[in-house]
Amino acid sequence: MLSEKYRPKSIFYMIGNEEGRKRIILWLKNWKKGSKPLLIVGPPGTGKTTSIKALGNDFNLFVLELNASDIRTKEKLDATLKNVEPVNLFGQRVIVFLDEIDGMYSKGDAGGINFLQEWIPNANVPVIMAANEMKDFMKDLAKMSEIIEWKKVPSREVFLWLKNIAEKENLKVNDEQIKNIIYESSGDIRYAVNQLQVAQESIVFKDVKYSAEDAIKNAMYAKNFLDAYHYISNWQDDPDTKLTAVAATIFYNQPLDLDVRARWISEADLLLGRIKKFQEWRLLRYFNVFLTIAVYNARGNYSQYLIPFPVIQENYKRPIYNELLEALKKGLHFNIGFIASDIVPLYEFLVKMKKIKDENIEKVLAGKGS
């Protein structure tokens, strides 16, 4: 993706947040054991993570990057951070970067926050944290930190940046298209840069909507990934419907790389749960990316979907799933894709709702005797 190709390698060559970048460098220069950690707070896609990676390049640092929303319990943090040394085996100074700290908290994870509040004051390495927004559970952590407010990059600077990339890549996009991209991106530079490729493919991505069938079929046979993404992102249904439709189609067609595609569907499901929990609706664009990866180049038929994705997913994970499919195929004489996407989930649903009773199938669906 262009966003990775043109991710700044030096903090001095980034755009926007000049004052914030100066403060990061000054903080690092003056850091000593016992110094306050740095907490960078600002919208996604505006360069928080890039600034720290670029800082590592500029000063030959080893950046130990952790996504705090994934590694958020006391046990995981302790196992990862307790043996961190100031210098690694290659002689590089080590800094710890905890990204997405605002995604860290849930009912069972308060211990993770408490661990950080105890560990950071005694840390023998510099600690930098980043968050998309300040949450209530972060108040005590914020009090002990030096806070840098990260802002959206001004549109004029983004315009010049995108225009420069377009010229280097010989992309045939005009100024009006670039302005539309900036408007659509709402300050997310990463998204804006990637949208340049979409514009290059001459797809009119504004005010175009697709049905589930059109979006999936077109994405499955799209000539490239960006075209496929266009169809999925402009699909008019709600996210839950999209997730279920993609899952039903993939399980119906049973592609050779089903495990890989199923994993991306699961990633989309996890991301959607986070979006709903934290109301981070801007992340829906990445949800669409995951669905696109799952369906692109699958080469198959669209499947009508009636069963919610969690039920489909639950079946797929069972160790005796394939054995069940083969047994039903022999008895019902349907193709295995249709059985996987419709028959098994429906039968399980009816068993669970006690509409039908079959002790043998109940045992199979419960994973017993496997």
Q: Average pLDDT of the chain? A: 81
Is the pTM above the cut of 0.75?
no
Q: Which stretches of the chain are assigned E, i.e. beta strand?
A: 38-41, 61-67, 93-99, 127-131, 146-149
Question: Which fold, 2-149?
Answer: Rossmann fold (3.40.50)
Q: What is the token pair recorded at 367? A: 């994973």
Strands in 38-41's sheet, in edge-to-edge order, are 61-67, 93-99, 127-131, 38-41, 146-149
Kindly report, residue by residue over 212-240, the tens digit of the pLDDT.
888 999 899 888 888 898 889 889 888 98
Domain boundaries, the chain: 2-149, 153-200, 309-365
Among candidates 323, 334, 333, which has minimal Cα distance to 361?
A: 323
Residues 98, 115: Cα–Cα separation, whole Å: 13
User: Do 145 and 107 contact (CB within 8 A), yes or no?
Assistant: no
Query: Does the pLDDT at position 83 exceed 50?
Result: yes
Q: Is the pLDDT of residue 303 over 80?
A: no
Nearest to 248 by CA among 216, 274, 222: 216
In this structure, the number of other CB atoms found within 10 A of the CB of residue 322 comes to 12
- pLDDT one-digit tens code per residue, 257-278: 888 888 898 889 889 888 888 8
- Compute how many other C-beta atoms are within 10 angstroms of the C-beta atom of residue 188: 22
Is the predicted pLDDT of residue 370 greater than 50, yes or no? no
Separation CA 306–CA 350 (nearest Å): 13
Alpha-carbon Rg for the chain, nearest whole angstrom, is 24
Contacts of 30 by beta carbon, 8 Å cutoff, 6+ apart? none
Res 130: pLDDT: 94
Q: How confident is the model at residue 202, as a pLDDT?
A: 47
C-alpha to C-alpha distance for 245 and 217, rounded to whole angstroms: 11
Q: Judge whether residue 48 has pLDDT over 50.
A: yes
The answer to whether residues 232 and 215 touch, using CB atoms and an 8 Å cutoff, is yes
Reported as a single tens digit per residue, the pLDDT across 158-205 is 999 999 999 998 888 888 889 988 887 877 888 888 778 666 654 444
DSSP, collapsed to helix, strand or coil, labels residue 210 as strand
Task: Report DSSP state, residue 87.
Answer: B
